[in-house]
Amino acid sequence: MTLRAEAFLDRVKERGEYRTTEEAERAARVVLALLGAHLVGDVRARLAARLPEGFALILLNPLQSAEPLTPERFVRATAAWIEGATEQTAAWDVGAVLSTVADAAGDDLLGQILLQLPAGYDLLFGRPQPT
């Protein structure tokens, strides 16, 4: 079932402890644009189908990434796109958004998403995998 935009942003706002919905939305847009560059094919389409329409479009029309970013570089890239962000605040932003995405995706789809990403993204999604 697709989350409504308000419900999605409320979860991001709560997890990120943002003061405003605008802050939560900015983080969600940047993180999803970067994530979309890392996912391909059916997995990206299935995840988009579980996100609110506006965020699904961001995922499906991502920023271009020349290569898959490691989790650390993903956080750094997020910091670069969010005005005034540091790596610490960006890590917080990424965690708030990706844990909400993980909930929307469900375990089966999340497992397929993680297969497309470099090692370590399970921690960014707040779902540490057994090694």
Read off the pLDDT of residues 80-107 as tens digits, 9 standing for 90 and up.
Answer: 999 999 999 999 999 999 999 999 999 9
The helix or strand, by DSSP H or E, that contains position 27, with its residue range, turns out to be helix 21-36
26 burial via Cβ count (<10 Å: 0-12, 13-18, 19+): middle
Contact 32, 55 (CB under 8 A): yes
| Phi, psi values for residue 65, rounded to 5° | -120, 125
- Mean pLDDT across the stretch 56-75? 88
Contact 44, 60 (CB under 8 A): yes
> 7-37 pLDDT, tens per residue?
999 999 999 999 999 999 999 999 999 999 9
pLDDT value for 42:
94
Pick the CATH number of 5-118 from 1.10.3720.10, 1.10.490.110, 3.90.180.10, 3.40.1160.10: 1.10.490.110
For residue 1, pLDDT over 90 is answered with no
